[in-house]
Structure 1
């Protein structure tokens, strides 16, 4: 392989190139981390790794291609009086019949023998002609005419060695320079023509004419100048006029295979702006942008979200749709754009070049889920389609043909660019509801279209079929409920009302307006502010409440407003309210383990305080009896009988009271727990209070002490009277 077409380079050759580390060791480490395409070759003293050009950073590729550009064609003669166009020379050769091509090949073989004798055998040119002519029975003068030329035709010594075969075909005489051109004029023209604005040849030549007249330069005709420009290597011209984006296109794309992958192992995503005017609920007319996630293996569109612009929210929500419906991929390929490479998606990825990586960056969604991120570059403002398959779905015959030009969008199609507007441009704008409905149906049809010509579909399967066959046999990672809430959007600092409800003003842009939500768990947060995570396209369903320090509280249901006379809605509201009250009562019963009587029984008996004897006493001197008569109550015979019966029963001896288990005694509490534990093992049902006591008591230090005490003293009675 020639230097101009090299594709493989060693770490030593790549060290200190633009975009790569300064030393060989750093290059090898970066290649290992990023999975460059590598092959091992034998070198002096052992073996070494070579890396393919397509695996290298874009700036490195450009530097290597510029370094190995082909050099301009030079004549083997030092004469400047003859020039030729190699492309025209070989076109002339290609148009000749095979008989003349064979004759030219025979002449070339004889001349190469002469060159071998002079370059390797040390013979003079004249002696070499004599020797070869004698051995091949041909005239020496004829061979010298091929080499030196004649009056009517230049010899091959005026051509580059690689063009001798084409020059030996009869009929091509080349071109002689009939007009001189000053060096300063030539440099002026190249500086004007070979720039990124890509000016036209005519405009540059006209500026050259005006300047030459003032400066006194000699310039050739347009045709001659065109030939001189074409003599500059194509790669050099493309780089100077089209930049790195054009230069990369000259290098053949590396063919990649996906046979070793499986469905959902690797996905890639990109945004597409639709060429359709859409009417939003707020009255604005705009062109919507959709972020698509595509499976690399099958090329199936897995999920999408539509928004007015490409932003982090739509990327995050659409990725959540992928995980919800299919699972967690292992690899993701995305552009290194601000929307995709932000810290909420890729924070913590060490090769995230879009922003500075900080130690205190929050861990992004992809690294948190264990997904390896692969970046593609944006060259010239466009995605690198060779590295991202989803780019090809947006090209000619892609999604735009099926979506943007749909019959329901007649009059709303904008055309691909301002210079290609249709006659009915801006006649109408389709409502957002219609746009979303058509988009959904066409994506389904896109995936189901049969006979796709991809490596996996092989002209027989649809994207759906290729995906399903592999997905059914693949090992897929799934997400739990906590992980699923990670990609929802977040609204901060929302105040909770006294009834545990709050308002979320997140649906006005989509026509859903302000929504009201409620959760019983929020009653404890009345008057406080919380954060809420939600799906902007499911605002009438469940949202998730968090504290300001990101602790999960619970789900909150949407409460829809109802009509004043809607009796069915009233019945439904009363039903949910009854359930709420019943659930709260059960929770309250389980929360209070003791009733009032048990509380009273546990109150300690207060001893009677000792009365101190007074130091100073005063005798009681009763008042003299004044002879008043204290009247006695008059009882009937029946009342007298009842009084006698009561006094007789009161004087009878009482039976001893049953022993009461005091729960303020550690031994009694431990015996109670042992009894409850035995009943549980026997399968008995405990009350809510007993269940709570059984669960809480065994967590304390007293339980551990009493367990050890019981084990040390086997005579300890653990039974409790029922």
Structure 2
């Protein structure tokens, strides 16, 4: 069974000769045409013909080629064609379409039948002829298939019979490289234009720059084959769009427990609500905190706008009922990153911590804050629950006519027909949140078809829970602001009100933390230092009516009480009276004069000047003598009535004071002198010191 030779190509165009790279032949089409003209190929009859098909042109018989070129053609015939290796062939088969694989199976069936006919005694030519008639394929086609698997093991024939496989890779669609760059540059932009528009723009540029163009279908085919999807997404949608095509991370909650971490976020409902004090209906916003482990909603509050005050109150509701969580996953919004919530927290706004930052609520409660990735809803699982509320709350039957639609271009036909009273909206929302927590058949990795309530309650019983003290509860009921006290008296000004207390002189000119209830500014402030230590309360200084006598009298009474209290407190800081200090100064001055000034041993008299007036010795008058006598008699009388001074002993003075206090406690009146002495002595530092020592001794006993 001899195999006939596959017919050799005998007619060649100039382009084919140039592409064949034959010896002694030019390698360009222009060079081949010049070689044919120079050697007179067109004048040899039977050796030149008009090329059939599109484009026309001449074809030359291979007998016109130089000897070395003809030998190269014969060698090329005997040389086996380049094939893909076994692994590449099967990889190409695996990447082929199902239709191509079915064609390969049909080809293999035809070749198997040829082999069977040869085994039955037919020659290969007869077997090919018989199989051609049966399968409706030409004999040449069957011979080509045989050539594809010539020398290939039968087990690998299928891979080489796929259309386009078996030999060298099919040439790609060729387009001008420069024009392709223009189209790709105009198409691969984040404005994401259509390919047809980018092609039109590139054509205009190519026409002005004399660049060769190509059809749109060919450009589209090349781009689809050469530009990977992730490159296209990166250029047309950016990094944010590229992240959507990257596999998401599965975050397991199996190692967590209830109240270990909570998450908080705002959600605006697509419902018109009548808010008290507002003239027009509003779309209310809900701040909610949920447990990350179980998914249960723990606390929620409503407000018109997203603000840190509502976040504080909502987080306070959570802590008051369930305890203090260890971690909090928060949105990057200003309402969460405000100083009132996260002041002093690292990575807040991704800035450094300043020394004078006011500690926020979460910082003071020891909650570790985690910031969610901006513009990435998958970072917060609570977003999935908000999606449920869009369907179960905003579209609730009780809110028909108040639903606004989730987009400006998706408004219902009955848009704006009615608005829901706030109390009615809260009632429906509360029922839906309770139903959300109690709904069974949850599919999280910790739920196992249980409800959020069941998962939370089971873990909460055995979880370490931190409860807040009464002092800590003040941290979320009030709001913190860093304010500076007045440089004179420590007075604070906040939201148009003035606050002051007598003790605030100690914070004059200093920056402090004023915690207050924004809804009750007239209730006063609680003052803390920057390190969180409580200093005291400050009352509001209410303004008085300009012409009101009562307001003026009230202010005068407060001033008098302040002066009286200050006087009593000042007495404790001054142990000696002004008279005693003056007397001691006089005694000190006399002592210094007697000790420091020695007596002069040499005295020189200064004679009077002759022109100095001569003054006679003056004698006191009778009236002056009588006045001096009366003064001495008055001093004597006062000395006789002055109470006897106790011995100059602190213990004796203190014992006498206790004795007088006991007499007064028994109901016996003291003399005027005793009462004055006891009042003055009880305000001295000596009396307070002996009182403290006596109390300390009694405590030790």
For normalisation by structure 2, the TM-score amounts to: 0.51
Q: Secondary structure at the match of 2:433?
A: helix
- 2:441 aligned with 1:451, yes or no? yes
- 2:689 aligned with 1:700, yes or no? yes
Q: What residue is the counterpart of 1:466 in the other structure?
A: 455
Q: What do residues 583-619 of structure 1 show as CA deviations (whole Å, max 9, x unaligned)?
A: xxxxx9xx9xxxxxxxxxxxxxxxxxxxxxx99689x
Contact 1:194 1:240 in 2 (8 A): yes
**Partner Cα distance (2:106, 2:659) in 1:** 113
CA pair 484-492 structure 1, distance change in 2 beyond 3 A: same
Q: What residue is the counterpart of 1:403 in the other structure?
A: 393
Which structure carries more helix by proportion? Answer: 2
Q: What do residues 57-81 of structure 1 show as CA deviations (whole Å, max 9, x unaligned)?
A: xxxxxxxxxxxxxxxxxxxx99xxx
Q: What residue is the counterpart of 1:341 in the other structure?
A: 337
Q: What residue is the counterpart of 1:373 in the other structure?
A: 369
**Partner Cα distance (1:140, 1:328) in 2:** 77
Of stretches 186-195 and 421-430 in structure 1, the one that deviates more from structure 2 is: 421-430
Contact 1:336 1:354 in 2 (8 A): no
Q: Secondary structure at the match of 1:274?
A: strand
Displacement of 1:702 in angstroms is 5.4
**Partner Cα distance (1:547, 1:424) in 2:** 52
Displacement of 1:295 in angstroms is 0.3
1:240 to 235, 243, 258: 235
Displacement of 1:269 in angstroms is 1.3
Provide the aligned C-alpha RMSD in A.
5.5
**Partner Cα distance (2:270, 2:429) in 1:** 13
**Correspondence 1:196-595 to 2 at 5 A:** 196-231=190-225, 232-280=227-275, 281-378=277-374, 382-385=375-378, 387-395=379-387, 398-459=388-449, 461-487=450-476, 488-489=478-479, 545-546=525-526
**Partner Cα distance (1:434, 1:375) in 2:** 34
Displacement of 1:463 in angstroms is 1.2
**Partner Cα distance (1:289, 1:707) in 2:** 60
Q: What residue is the counterpart of 1:575 in the other structure?
A: none
Contact 2:179 2:213 in 1 (8 A): yes
Q: What do residues 328-370 of structure 1 show as CA deviations (whole Å, max 9, x unaligned)?
A: 0000111233332233322222232444432221222222111
**Partner Cα distance (1:491, 1:432) in 2:** 30
Q: What do residues 612-646 of structure 1 show as CA deviations (whole Å, max 9, x unaligned)?
A: xx99689xxxxxxxxxxxxxxxxxxxxxxxxxxxx
- 2:175 aligned with 1:181, yes or no? yes
**Partner Cα distance (1:193, 1:291) in 2:** 43
Displacement of 1:327 in angstroms is 0.9
**Partner Cα distance (1:491, 1:314) in 2:** 15
Contact 2:527 2:538 in 1 (8 A): no
Contact 2:261 2:326 in 1 (8 A): yes
Q: What do residues 430-468 of structure 1 show as CA deviations (whole Å, max 9, x unaligned)?
A: 333333332222212211222222222211x21122112
User: How many corresponding residue pairs?
Assistant: 438
| Bigger Rg, which one | 2
Q: Flag structure 1 segments of 5+ consecutive residues without an equivalent.
A: 1-76, 79-85, 105-137, 160-173, 494-503, 507-515, 558-587, 592-613, 619-661, 675-692, 712-717
Displacement of 1:701 in angstroms is 4.8
Contact 2:308 2:336 in 1 (8 A): yes
**Partner Cα distance (2:408, 2:695) in 1:** 87
CA pair 208-482 structure 1, distance change in 2 beyond 3 A: same
**Correspondence 1:125-144 to 2 at 5 A:** 139-140=150-151
CA pair 89-219 structure 1, distance change in 2 beyond 3 A: farther
**Correspondence 1:109-188 to 2 at 5 A:** 139-140=150-151, 153-156=163-166, 158-159=168-169, 177=173, 180-188=174-182
Q: Flag structure 2 segments of 5+ consecutive residues without an equivalent.
A: 1-81, 84-90, 110-148, 484-493, 541-564, 569-622, 628-649, 663-681
CA pair 433-103 structure 1, distance change in 2 beyond 3 A: farther
Displacement of 1:195 in angstroms is 1.6
**Partner Cα distance (1:615, 1:318) in 2:** 89
Of stretches 420-429 and 266-275 in structure 1, the one that deviates more from structure 2 is: 420-429
Contact 1:147 1:156 in 2 (8 A): no
Contact 2:274 2:421 in 1 (8 A): yes
Q: Secondary structure at the match of 1:272?
A: strand
Q: Secondary structure at the match of 1:340?
A: helix
For normalisation by structure 1, the TM-score amounts to: 0.50
